[in-house]
A and B are shown apart, each in its own frame.
Chain A
Amino acid sequence: LGTSIIALTFDGGVILGADSRTSTGNYIANRASDKITPLCDNVYTLRSGSASDTQAIAGYVQHFIAQHQAEEGDQVTVKTVANLVKMMAYNNKDFMQAGLIVAGFDKHGGGQVYSISLGGTVTATPFAMSGSGSTYINGFCDKYWRENMSEQDAMEFITRALRYAMTWDASSGGCIRTVTITAAGVKRQFIQGSQIPPTYGELPRQQVVA
């Protein structure tokens, strides 16, 4: 999964954003794939790395969390879900190539983002990004990210960052999908490729000569 995925906390919840390209070699197998997968009602995950490995992990975690939820009788905390994903990645580290970002909202800790990298390290941060496209926007995100943005600012930040990642990384592209999780619930949004302003579209072009 060449990918660009970002998650960040804002004042009131979290927003998760991803591109929609799945490529096998240089053929784009799916140009509208959904890399944002629900693990339970209030926690979603962003998947990068091997598509099959991340789908398998998500499947197992959905199953175990559903059982845990039934026993708890209450909303599951984001930390628990992140821990379970970590256990899957860590205990099978020799066989897997999966980088996931787990993000959600619970009433104890508010919006939280946990990044789980290849070997199974869990890092809790207010903002995380991963995937091959994330390397191109490190500088951009360092400069423009602020703590406790409003929902609208956070959405603008994510779409702008993903737009640049999709331009420079060949294995990211298509459209931008976002999921916003707050106390009120979950909201999915979809920005078509044609609605994303093209990078360098605003600059006048010199005539290309043969």
Chain B
Amino acid sequence: MAGVAGPGTGQGAAGGDGDDSLYPIAVLIDELRNEDVQLRLNSIKKLSTIALALGVERTRTELLPFLTDTIYDEDEVLLALAEQLGNFTGLVGGPDFAHCLLPPLESLATVEETVVRDKAVESLRQISQEHTPVALEAHFVPLVKRLASGDWFTSRTSACGLFSVCYPRASHAVKAEIRQHFRSLCSDDTPMVRRAAASKLGEFAKVLELDSVKSEIVPLFTNLASDEQDSVRLLAVEACVSIAQLLSEDDLEALVMPTLRQAAEDKSWRVRYMVADKFSELQKAVGPKITLNDLIPAFQNLLKDCEAEVRAAAAHKVKELCENLPMEGRETIIMNQILPYIKELVSDTNQHVKSALASVIMGLSTILGKGNTIEHLLPLFLAQLKDECPEVRLNIISNLDCVNEVIGIRQLSQSLLPAIVELAEDAKWRVRLAIIEYMPLLAGQLGVEFFDEKLNSLCMAWLVDHVHAIREAATHNLMKLVQKFGKEWAQNTIVPKVLVMANDPNYLHRMTTLFCINALSEACGQEITTKQMLPVVLKMARDQVANVRFNVAKSLQKIGPILDTDALQEEVKPVLQKLGQDEDVDVKYFAQEAISVLALA
């Protein structure tokens, strides 16, 4: 709808004698100032409707000035306003008038609330593209300069995000000014502004001429990377990724690497953490040669950092780092320069480090191939499967598929089983839940024989767990297993055991039978459902516990579509009718619901 009203139709948009059509707009305008935040918010969200009704001229001369001063409102209202204005160009008369949107967005770009400022900057960036080059220099660039030299840090931080959008389209002279403004923000007094500048440094570097990158951005980067504030230095690491992509290898070595090396050994663990966290990006940005000479030694240090947070971040990157090494010589590098450090981490003192490693270590097997995996990695996997921390064991088990492709799971199965059994009986139900979720995967990889022999009893035991979430997950697990191993297997191994529980003295276990039937009936098909399951369900309609009875009704509703018409009419219908007369309201309700859904009335 934006953009329809051209400049010529301005006044006419709200004209005519259609008072009815004005009323809703009048309400919307009045509600811009309602006491209730929600109503103000709704009204702001329909700002385009108001603007359309007012026409482009009144929008420019009345609505926008009003909005420019409406910066006292709640954050969520301002946020919505900042967002709306980004799409408002059509409503103020098209690109020729896009600059009219700058004043309200400028005032929003100076509020204290970060989310609002960020949204205003986002909208300003959007609108900058709609300015003609002339308008850009006449209106947009002055705005950026005003913000960049504003009294409060809020406006200066906002300016940081706007340089890169106006720079490419500005004239030569203006470009120099823009660079000058950016430079001064990089050495601003307040750390907030330096942080904003550091976080936009990479983005700004990308739109600069290569010479300026070398002569201006690199010194700024070097300064920010040695700022006294840790929070500024760590952002410089991120900028490093973008800057590195722009420079040749020689320039990189001379201009950026000294700073990066320094960051990897920074006194503050937060900066080293950032290097570890951005390692893959850095690796890609600096290319293979520098990676081998510089990054690998740095990575080794990060893997044995004194701060566990740093080791964990580095451990997370092990697989990606190895994957991204050049194919030639990759195996040797990993075996000689990475693996020794990984071996140390397997017995780290910190469980987060071990669990971070466990989540990626299996991925190395595809990179290293069968021989190395069996000889070097397998002992590590086995050690981790016996780790005292359940998270580590779980992470290994959840990534078994990687190893399976390389060496097959059999190599592991002897150690796997005790690990699984232990997790399956862990005192924390969340741990039990996690291992249940991996069961279908394990079953698929270990095969039906191994499963029947070792794991089947576990799966059945979970059905009678004292935590409902576990019983529920166990039910779902059975369905997945049946999908994997087929009906016949279900009929022989699962269904009989499930049905026996229908006679359990504990009503919760009897209900589990019903839940299992709900889950399994579709996978098992009509024959098994009709012959084996249905009789049990029908029998349970006489249960003395109401919860069981109404679950019978729900189960019948669920399995009804699988049964044939005879069974439905002759067996299900009478039972549901009887339940429909039950003394318990819930039973009655669900029975009647089932009757109507199955169309048995």
Indicate, yes or no, whether A interacts with B.
no
